[in-house]
Structure 1
């Protein structure tokens, strides 16, 4: 925490959990106050109560962005999670650290569990796991007609993220095809997970090891631009700290992180007749500033996005999805209320795709915007 809360209330205005539940004790200010009190008296709450408190944060980071005092509530909550781990955080850590081994078979296993055995608490989680690998995906409606020479001949690294690497390889293949069309030389790079999910869950050491590895991959490649197509991965990479040789190198790293959609901004597309007449777009919480994904889609789809979120969270929440799914559900419902009427919803975050696909109305299909491109 950089400073003390001055009760300005800015964080309360942006917190999706508070907005959806109306319970101020779940808001950022209450968490910051309680974390401060716990730092003064560690015996104030039992281990069980502290672990429960640590689960009640979506980790969207909106409060951190607006706080004039530099109070980082998600980081405070991550500290609580690290100091008071429980079975749910251990399960989350195992799931993230062993994504290559667990995600594909885990998704296949979840698909085989009949819906009558889906309890109220774990049913949404099972549905999300089952949908990780996706079905047929979205029906493509965009085809490239011309690539610009903007990046032709440049060397870049592609940070695809765990979902694209291990369960949604069609996203990876489409991204590689598009970069090839742009004339970009995609360099080999053995990246690990961005580590943001582990960091938010309180496993700072594991996250630091991943960040150090990924930065070294970048160094070994000559410090080229790093292209991403997942907003959460990009936010996790941007938050790297403590693994650089100097402040100048850290600044260079942050400037080399490039959204794929910004690389494609001058690509010309032709729109097929099968485009949805009610296409919605979900803006991930971890998009800060201009949303290049939405800008690209507005251009490519000729303004056919009929509904879009702005401040709504999908309700994924990382470890909170395991710790308090009932509290995340109203957040998710508000998101779907905003997207009401859409029959196809796209987004640029792998976690948002998983959460929205698991909770979508029966008449709605969800996918990454890359799935719209042939």
Structure 2
């Protein structure tokens, strides 16, 4: 796959890491070129050099989306990470595979540890954990006025994701309330993590086990629609091709993955008096071209939506955030520059909400768009 790169440079225009740092050696084209070298000669780079290369990718997949040759640089990096695991990958794997036991407790504890007592090695992880905080969140200011009959009587599965299941349960409750109002019967399904964060970190076996489990849940439920309200989870679910025995079933699975905002697009909303005058929307890297989250917010908030990211990444970066926090911080600052002037920033991705919440300027609120619905 790495050898398919024709060095056209399309990926350079969309890479948040390159755009934030100006360093072309950090861009996808350089990674594809180096992976091609390693494919031809595994001894061309030392173990340390290969591990360093594997660590410097945000996993945003923007380069893959624009590549005319179908080169998947984040996929190549994930394979490098699998071949050269380190302490950060191990730590990331523990965090994701034990989310049920760790997240709620860790996110609360992380906020209580003074910075001077935070080990340098764990500082970035603690910062991300603090961004997962639960609690009251944003004050709701969108009231529902009407529900359409479009989906009334349909049976669907709801994929809530780890953050909503273990930390931000108010997201889950609001999602269930919206689906109930729409007349949807939410089927019981014990989904696990989407596996996207594990796959990007090179934990390929663990990610595949989760993917196989989630597909089995869908099959057992009769292969209904699966509603998702996290852009990163949705992208990960749609990338399960390797766990299907037939391309037809893989396509059937992909066609049944729906964003909650798309299902809820015809719900009537009215703004309450406590709505801030200026709001921003952060477009996640993994959102699809339609971006139904943004369209729903534009329809409901209208002129109050004054700031919006388009090409800027929040800088979450997955496992890269542990190994190169200085670089991910540069990416994050460009994101906040774009969102200047907003009193509250909304997004439709759990990872983005966590990262932006942990790095928000003083006085700026951050949350998932589900939080603003009464």
Q: Hey, what does 1:271 align to over in structure 2? A: 271
**Distance in 1 (alpha carbons) for counterparts of 2:82 and 2:196:** 14
**Distance in 2 (alpha carbons) for counterparts of 1:254 and 1:54:** 29
1:139-218 counterparts in 2 under 5 A? 139-218=139-218
On the 8 A contact 2:232/2:351 being kept in 1, the answer is: yes
**Distance in 2 (alpha carbons) for counterparts of 1:215 and 1:303:** 41
Q: Hey, what does 2:345 align to over in structure 1? A: 345
Give 3-state SS (helix, strand or coil) of 2:317's partner.
coil
On the 8 A contact 2:131/2:355 being kept in 1, the answer is: no
After superposing the two structures, state which structure 1 stretch, 1-10 or 87-96, moved more: 1-10
Q: Hey, what does 1:222 align to over in structure 2? A: 222
Q: Hey, what does 2:126 align to over in structure 1? A: 126
**Distance in 2 (alpha carbons) for counterparts of 1:364 and 1:119:** 28
Q: Hey, what does 2:291 align to over in structure 1? A: 291
After superposing the two structures, state which structure 1 stretch, 109-118 or 257-266, moved more: 109-118
Please list every run of 5 or more consecutive structure 2 residues that lacks an aligned counterpart in the other structure: none
Q: Hey, what does 2:58 align to over in structure 1? A: 58
**Distance in 1 (alpha carbons) for counterparts of 2:336 and 2:119:** 22
Give 3-state SS (helix, strand or coil) of 2:11's partner.
helix
Please say if 1:310 is aligned against 2:324: no
On the 8 A contact 2:2/2:33 being kept in 1, the answer is: no
1:84-103 counterparts in 2 under 5 A? 84-103=84-103
**Distance in 1 (alpha carbons) for counterparts of 2:144 and 2:213:** 35
On the 8 A contact 1:58/1:316 being kept in 2, the answer is: yes
**CA drift at 1:218:** 0.3
On the 8 A contact 1:124/1:359 being kept in 2, the answer is: no
Aligned pair count? 374
**CA drift at 1:17:** 0.3
**CA drift at 1:119:** 6.7
Please say if 1:27 is aligned against 2:27: yes
**CA drift at 1:118:** 4.7
**CA drift at 1:130:** 1.9
Give 3-state SS (helix, strand or coil) of 1:242's partner.
helix
- 1:142-191 per-position Cα deviation (integer Å, ceiling 9, x unaligned): 01111011100100000000000000000000000110010000000000
Q: Hey, what does 1:106 align to over in structure 2? A: 106
**CA drift at 1:120:** 7.0
On the 8 A contact 1:121/1:326 being kept in 2, the answer is: no
After superposing the two structures, state which structure 1 stretch, 4-13 or 160-169, moved more: 4-13
After superposing the two structures, state which structure 1 stretch, 30-39 or 348-357, moved more: 30-39
- 1:256-313 per-position Cα deviation (integer Å, ceiling 9, x unaligned): 0000000111100111011111100000000121110010111112342110000100
- 1:325-352 per-position Cα deviation (integer Å, ceiling 9, x unaligned): 1111111000000001111000000000
Q: Hey, what does 1:321 align to over in structure 2? A: 321
Please list every run of 5 or more consecutive structure 1 residues that lacks an aligned counterpart in the other structure: none
**Distance in 1 (alpha carbons) for counterparts of 2:326 and 2:356:** 16
**CA drift at 1:324:** 0.7
**CA drift at 1:115:** 3.5
- With over 3 angstroms needed to count, the CA separation of the structure-2 counterparts of 1:128 and 1:135, relative to structure 1, is farther
TM-score (norm 1): 0.97
Give 3-state SS (helix, strand or coil) of 2:233's partner.
helix
On the 8 A contact 1:283/1:308 being kept in 2, the answer is: yes
Task: Spell out structure 1 runs of 4+ moving beyond 6 A.
Answer: none
Aligned CA-pair RMSD: 1.3
- With over 3 angstroms needed to count, the CA separation of the structure-2 counterparts of 1:3 and 1:70, relative to structure 1, is farther
